[in-house]
Amino acid sequence: MDFQYDTINGAPVAWSDNFILEEEIDSIYDECNKIRKLGLLTNQTGGAINADKSLMKSNKGVFFEELYKNYFLSETLKIYLEKIHQETFRKKMEQVHPYFRTLQMSRNTCTLLSYYEASDYYKGHIDTSFVTVLFWFYKDPKVFSGGDLIIENELTIECKRGRILFMPGWLTHEVTPVSMSKENQGKGLGRYSISQFIIES
């Protein structure tokens, strides 16, 4: 796998477009779209809130840990977590930047599935994780625009199918509004994201 790399305020941001195989992306999409069809996504996922208690986001999601007692029951988690927790991969990330040594310090994680359609967004916020891992996917062909990630108002990472990104959770990041035609809404053709939060053991 090949990684692109940048630093913001001295912090590393790394991303790859070939971490997950195409057939694996299809399997992940099928499972996550089924979750959407079952009505298991909600706008109450403990997201960041403003001082007035209003939500800083407009999207829907669910934590995988609420759906599965064992990650082996989820094809998505089997594919995703087994790759991230491979020792060879963690060592490779440490070579990308020493900060990612934190991936080897913890197996304590939580994994959030998010879905964005027309006008959905996530305003600038930080996470309480050592490392936040973001994976984006959607049904080909892409029928929406937007949904890109902006980090610290400096770096914009385009939302591409199969792209995975690693960064410290304390970097401020936001998701730009998604735009799509009315005829494509409600069909699972929007922006899916899996966020994994690597937290203290």
- Which domains does the chain possess? 4-48+56-198 (2.60.120.620)
Mean pLDDT per 10-residue section of the chain, whose length is 201 residues: 91 95 97 98 74 79 93 90 86 91 77 96 93 96 98 98 96 98 98 91 60
End-to-end Cα spacing for the chain: 27
Cα Rg of the chain, angstroms? 16
pLDDT value, residue 82:
85
Encode pLDDT of 133-159 as tens digits: 999 999 999 999 999 999 999 999 999
pLDDT value, residue 2:
86
Count of residues making up the chain? 201
